[in-house]
A and B are shown apart, each in its own frame.
Chain A
Amino acid sequence: MAVASVAVDAATETMVPGSEDEAIAAFGDGVGVVVVGGGTIVVPDLTYRRIRPSKTLMLGHAGLAGIETDGAQVTIGAMTPVQDLVDLPAPLGPCAANVADLEIRSQGTVGGNLCAGDAPEAPRGDLQGAFLALGATVRFAADGEVAEEPLEDFLGEHSGRLVLGVSFDEPAAGAFAGLDRPHTHDYTALAVSGAKGNDGTLRLAVTGAGSWGARLPSAEAAAGDPEAAGKAALQDVSPRDDALASAWYRTKVLPALVRRVLTEMGASS
């Protein structure tokens, strides 16, 4: 019996790989393939007919979820639900806890979040800032070959590449500061993540100030003085007006978030 309100074109081929190898093979060069992680982004796009793919790759049964620790290195599989990150240390833990609500966090995935740019109303890769601050590396497949790349280079360049996982070294200190959301179904209008490596490297990153998460190199250079770093951060961003906040508001708040993150990290080291 035909499902009367079925959103999906009968013509859409669904591929459901049962392992990482099968997923890599099914993805191929990714041309014409829409990847479905948890479904939180793709399924509404299908329902509202914003996308009408000829092929979808559903990763729910490919065994790509899980968090592994090997010494200082943490590896997170692409299909790990955001909810599994909430108890990790800052910045990642509090960043993840600030995403949506329990149910959506349990369905949305790390891989999906790293490949998420703009929604119609706002940027939506809420985790990208935390991973950037952690100096994360992305493991991905393209055309059957598996490779790694710093997340900074990968963001926005994921076409033709299937995210398999992301890894980083446990930081010595970390902090996260984000704007409160009016409701859990809103993305975070602006958030700053910071992390200090065991080698002393300090990274700061922002989400909500552009389509993708980005580092704040001017703020990093002035990190010794949180006040100055906050002001310097404005040089690194060109925020936009969107449904969540105006560019003006974001420029007012960014220095405060940077200050908070640096102060918190300074206090904990």
Chain B
Amino acid sequence: MNLTVNGAACEIDGSALTPLLDVLRDELGVTGPKAGCHQGGCGACTVLVDGEPRRSCLMPAGYAEGAEIVTVEGIGAPEDLAPIQQAFVHYYAAQCGFCTSGMLLAAQAYLARGGSDDHESIQEALAGHVCRCTGYAKIIDAVAAAARGDSFDLTTTAVGKHTTMATGGAE
């Protein structure tokens, strides 16, 4: 099966039934999308499939064939953050960060279809995404700010380096 992931063409083995989430994380080493429940209930696994937000834990890999998949790693890098990522940093919209990947992509798709800074519309777009840390208010503020096109001075809230855990070796 052939997919494009964050712009890179990938060929994947295995059953067409394997959830896309597991193909991304286990076979391709793309660990941005998270497994929060493996049953579609939390939104941590959401990726963009041809620009549309989809639960990757529910999507058989065979249904992603030929599609362009974008994960959180594909919307911006530390030295070049997308507006929605900047807004999340500025508004402290991530605490533990585990729901953040899915939230960002759902928000990104919302903005791409012209979403406004109306809080109810934002809530509707992000309704499937569970966060246990922030209480959602900062997330909604961040999406609203990005919808308005606010710009931020990130020098006070972003740092150049970030923590990673040393691994035993690359897959």
A residues within 8 Å of B by Cβ? 1-8, 10, 12, 14, 16, 36, 38-40, 43-44, 46-48, 56, 58, 60-61, 100-104, 106-107, 183-185
Contact = CB atoms under 8 A, between A and B. Distances in A.
B124 interface: yes
B59 A107 contact: yes
B17 A12 contact: yes
A3 B29 CA distance: 11
Given A14-B17, A103-B53, A60 B38 contact: no
Contacts of A60: 60, 62-63
B112 to A, nearest CB: 13
Contact of A43 (B19, B25, B26, B27): B19
Interface of A is mostly: loop
Contact of A102 (B39, B40, B128): B128
Given A40-B58, A43-B58, A43-B59, A4 B26 contact: yes
Nearest to B16: A14
A3 B60 contact: no
B22 interface: yes
Nearest to A6: B18
23 contacts: A3-B18, A5-B22, A5-B26, A8-B17, A10-B15, A39-B58, A39-B63, A43-B17, A43-B57, A47-B38, A48-B38, A56-B17, A58-B17, A58-B60, A101-B127, A103-B54, A103-B55, A103-B128, A106-B52, A107-B40, A184-B127, A185-B42, A185-B128
Interface in B117-137: 124-125, 127-128, 130
A183 B41 CA distance: 10
Interface residues on B, range: 35 or more
Contacts of A102: 53, 106, 124-125, 127-128
B54 A7 contact: no
B25 to A, nearest CB: 8
A3 B27 contact: yes
Most chain A beta carbons < 10 A, residue from B54, B63, B125: B63
A70 B52 CA distance: 30
A118 to B, nearest CB: 16
